[in-house]
Structure 1
Amino acid sequence: MFEKLRTAGKIEHYLPDCLFHLYISVMGRIKLIMSLLWMSVCECKAAMYGHVQSPLFPEPYLADLYIRWYLKVPHGYQIQLTFNHLDIEPSVNCTKDSLTILLDGEVLGKFCGQKSTDTHHPGNKPILSPDNHLWLLFETDSSNQGSQMHLGFFVFYQAIVVDCGIPEIADPDLIALTEESLLTTYKQNISFKCLSEYYKLDGDANFTCDANGNWISERGQNHSQNAPHCVPVCGMNKQTFSAGRVFGGQDAKLGQIPWQLLTKQPNRGGASLISDRWAITAATVVDGQQTKTLLFYGGMIDGLDQNAVKMETEKIIIHPGYKVESPVQTNYDNDIALVKMSARVPLSTNVLPVCLPEKSNGPVMEGKSGTVSGFGGTSKNPLRSRFLQHGPVKEYSEVPCFSTTLKVTDNMFCAGGDDEDVDTCKGDSGGPLVIPLLGRGSPETPYRLKGIVSWGPAKCGDKNFKGYYTKVENYLDWIRETMENN
């Protein structure tokens, strides 16, 4: 029944349709050959359980053996090995006699010695293969002789259904599994959801447990490498209303501009929330305060509102291209800064981030009217407004758009209102200019931050004197890299 091949003084026996191989020295005992009649070998088809034992077990094994067993269980299962007996001649690093477990060439374990009370001995606990197959390799030299002969091994194997386990959730405050009764074994499905309506899922939602014990999405993404996460909904507001004015204008409604923030000390100015941890403002608002802790207020339209959401700063990062001048700033190029809050901002209908802009191929505001907002000066109070104001503005292409000795760069653009009463003023610095016009946003057309109130003429409200805004789209890479690295 066997084909025989003599090579290097050994005979290799093949079972034609199986993956079991036996090597034995030419001088080996005849009774070992006879043992093939009863010795458990691998099944040709995937089995659910079985056992493997050293030749002649429970009698001592012979010298000069090289035996391999190939074990395989059905797809979607793993092989669990349980040693009932392990008695192989001990040696340093198992260089003499050994039993090795291999998977696709990788060594999962190499055993020798005796099973004992030592809990660290690998034969004392089951071994689980990462896949549905493996090799067992039993090698002996010529030293298992005399009164100290060792008996070998007996190992039971069985198919254990692949279990992908409960996937790790990086931020359980924001994301959760949809299943109440979670099943994590082969071919089972799981789905993720965001716990708050103010967040949306970024990444694949649905995963299936595969035969290798990995959660894989419909697009083939591995959850351990590409886990979904929840990101804030941006550019949405509570309702839409008709546009008003900043300088001498109309009060905003609560939830109408939920990304608007206000800082009062040491410099009064605005900012825009762009995530649940970050805000963006003008460098002029936070210049000199990088090592200090500032307070920003949001979720309000009344600057004196005691119930405003307070946000304490953790980091203030001014663009490295902004140059501080003293005593008077004459160059506002790169007038932009990022502010990281010390804790996640609690989002609500009154506190939501604005979307960052997309790159424009033509005019910054894409030929649309936008809305500027802030708590700065009004026609009644040129220094500050108690209530949040907003007004419509459009882009002006003339450079400069008003008479000035200050340098105008490509990192700025000019905007203002058609009405002489619509303008930004002192205290609005750092605040947002968004498109589309307030009241015209939608889930398909969210509000995007096109400009940050930067600088303008000393006098507010003159239709011949517009204002300059920091062109946010020029800083998208810097914004994303800064947020990722901090």
Structure 2
Amino acid sequence: MADWLHQHTHLHPPTSALSSSDKSPPAVAGGTWIVGGHEAKAHSRPYMASLEISGENTCGGTLINRKWVLTAAHCMENTPVSVVRVVLGGHNLHDPDRFMQMFRIQESIRHPEYNPLTFQNDIQLLKLNDSVTITPYVKPLKIPNANSDVVPGTPCSVAGWGYISDFGAEPKALMETEVDVITRETCNASWNGNIVESMLCTATPGKPVKGFCSGDSGGPLVCRNRVEGVVSFSGFRCGDPVSPDVYTRVESFLSWILCTFEKRERIVERL
């Protein structure tokens, strides 16, 4: 299997978040499966994208308009766009149906200040090689309103096609779970001060462990029917109750997203 396919299943938490007493190697950042989840209702998340390499799901993404998918920058790190296929409208990726739409990537735009060591600005835009056909099974999810934040305690959800066990067992279909947003202060107590305003954290205190892992990286944190976060990194083990899950906060990047769209449209108009 190609080396770049393995890169997205061995993504560590920020190096600076590890204390000197941490002697065991950190587990995946972004993780590898939806923890404490259940199968989503078929086609109930028509904005969900799977980024595939050689027919294998490697990351998730969110359709945010007819030609653009939002994902995590670490998902595309050292990955040629020519090997990535974007699948929309899927439920069971290993049992394709007539609702699926598949695309190649025309352009991949990483945030210019992405830091692979701290995972700050872990966000990327993928321009599809053609516009999607809007159907009940494929349609965009709204981006956040400007100057909005997700209030701690807000119930949200996360979904993906990542592994469902330490042994690499793949789910038959899209999995999802419910999580709660927590304060950055609470999150920073576990992450040595590495959580900045452009990040969001979730946990399920006092409840069975729920969260994401690395085949889920790049997928959406959905709150109030908007993509409020992009799956970025997690702790030493998927669903680790000591280390909350961390997402890129989409609202922090609205200007960059909208400016990118506008710039590309102007280029198209000049051609």
1:358 maps to 145
Secondary structure of the corresponding residue to residue 399 of structure 1:
helix
- 1:433 counterpart (221, 228, 235): 221
Q: Letter of the aligned partner of 1:389 in structure 2?
A: M
Q: Letter of the aligned partner of 1:263 in structure 2?
A: L
In 2, Cα distance between the equivalents of 1:450 and 1:377? 23
Q: Compared with structure 1, are the counterparts of its residues 365 and 313 closer, same or farther at alpha carbon in structure 2 (3 Å cutoff)? A: farther
Task: Tell whether 2:191 aligns with 1:413.
Answer: no
Matches within 5 A, 1:22-171: none
Task: Tell whether 2:100 aligns with 1:313.
Answer: no
Q: Indicate conservation of the 8 Å contact 2:143/2:226, yes or no.
A: yes
- 2:253 counterpart (475, 478, 482): 475
Matches within 5 A, 1:190-269: 246-265=34-53, 268-269=58-59
2:88 maps to 298
In 2, Cα distance between the equivalents of 1:413 and 1:399? 11
Q: Deviations over 1:403-439 (max 9, x none)?
A: 3458322111111234333111121100001112xxx
Q: Indicate conservation of the 8 Å contact 2:51/2:86, yes or no.
A: yes
Q: Which has the higher contact order (CA 8 A, sep 6+)?
A: 2
Secondary structure of the corresponding residue to residue 295 of structure 1:
strand
Q: Compared with structure 1, are the counterparts of its residues 393 and 248 closer, same or farther at alpha carbon in structure 2 (3 Å cutoff)? A: closer
In 2, Cα distance between the equivalents of 1:310 and 1:382? 25
Q: Compared with structure 1, are the counterparts of its residues 387 and 353 closer, same or farther at alpha carbon in structure 2 (3 Å cutoff)? A: same
2:239 maps to 461
In 2, Cα distance between the equivalents of 1:432 and 1:250? 16
In 2, Cα distance between the equivalents of 1:255 and 1:322? 32
Query: Taking structure 2 as the reference length, what is the TM-score of the superposition?
Result: 0.76
In 2, Cα distance between the equivalents of 1:405 and 1:265? 34
- 1:272 counterpart (37, 45, 62): 62
- 2:227 counterpart (442, 449, 452): 449
Report the Cα offset of residue 255 of structure 1: 2.1
Q: Compared with structure 1, are the counterparts of its residues 321 and 290 closer, same or farther at alpha carbon in structure 2 (3 Å cutoff)? A: farther
Report the Cα offset of residue 368 of structure 1: 2.2
Q: Indicate conservation of the 8 Å contact 1:429/1:454, yes or no.
A: yes
CA RMSD of superposed structures (Å) = 2.4
Secondary structure of the corresponding residue to residue 414 of structure 1:
strand
Q: Indicate conservation of the 8 Å contact 1:293/1:313, yes or no.
A: no
Q: Letter of the aligned partner of 1:315 in structure 2?
A: E
Report the Cα offset of residue 465 of structure 1: 2.8
Q: Deviations over 1:299-341 (max 9, x none)?
A: 1111213233212110000000113xxxxx4310000000000
- 2:160 counterpart (363, 368, 374): 374
Q: Deviations over 1:201-230 (max 9, x none)?
A: xxxxxxxxxxxxxxxxxxxxxxxxxxxxxx
Q: Compared with structure 1, are the counterparts of its residues 409 and 297 closer, same or farther at alpha carbon in structure 2 (3 Å cutoff)? A: same
Q: Deviations over 1:50-71 (max 9, x none)?
A: xxxxxxxxxxxxxxxxxxxxxx
Query: Taking structure 1 as the reference length, what is the TM-score of the superposition?
Result: 0.43
Q: Compared with structure 1, are the counterparts of its residues 380 and 347 closer, same or farther at alpha carbon in structure 2 (3 Å cutoff)? A: farther
Q: Compared with structure 1, are the counterparts of its residues 390 and 319 closer, same or farther at alpha carbon in structure 2 (3 Å cutoff)? A: same
Task: Tell whether 2:186 aligns with 1:396.
Answer: no
2:23 maps to none
Report the Cα offset of residue 375 of structure 1: 1.0
Structure 1 gap segments, 5+ residues each: 1-244, 324-328, 437-446
Task: Single out whichever of 345-354 and 246-255 deviates more from structure 2.
Answer: 246-255
Q: Indicate conservation of the 8 Å contact 1:270/1:427, yes or no.
A: yes
Q: Indicate conservation of the 8 Å contact 2:53/2:83, yes or no.
A: no
In 2, Cα distance between the equivalents of 1:353 and 1:394? 23
Report the Cα offset of residue 293 of structure 1: 5.0
In 2, Cα distance between the equivalents of 1:338 and 1:383? 29
Q: Deviations over 1:148-186 (max 9, x none)?
A: xxxxxxxxxxxxxxxxxxxxxxxxxxxxxxxxxxxxxxx
Report the Cα offset of residue 379 of structure 1: 4.5
Q: Deviations over 1:102-154 (max 9, x none)?
A: xxxxxxxxxxxxxxxxxxxxxxxxxxxxxxxxxxxxxxxxxxxxxxxxxxxxx
Secondary structure of the corresponding residue to residue 262 of structure 2:
helix
User: Counting helix residues as a fraction of each chain, which structure ranks higher?
Assistant: 2
In 1, Cα distance between the equivalents of 2:133 and 2:171? 25
Secondary structure of the corresponding residue to residue 424 of structure 1:
coil
Report the Cα offset of residue 347 of structure 1: 1.6
Report the Cα offset of residue 393 of structure 1: 1.1
Q: Indicate conservation of the 8 Å contact 1:454/1:468, yes or no.
A: yes
Task: Tell whether 2:201 aligns with 1:423.
Answer: no
Q: Letter of the aligned partner of 1:397 in structure 2?
A: T
Secondary structure of the corresponding residue to residue 253 of structure 2:
helix
Q: Compared with structure 1, are the counterparts of its residues 406 and 313 closer, same or farther at alpha carbon in structure 2 (3 Å cutoff)? A: farther
1:45 maps to none
Q: Compared with structure 1, are the counterparts of its residues 434 and 365 closer, same or farther at alpha carbon in structure 2 (3 Å cutoff)? A: farther
Q: Deviations over 1:235-276 (max 9, x none)?
A: xxxxxxxxxx93142101122111011112277110000011
Report the Cα offset of residue 480 of structure 1: 0.8
In 1, Cα distance between the equivalents of 2:141 and 2:46? 8
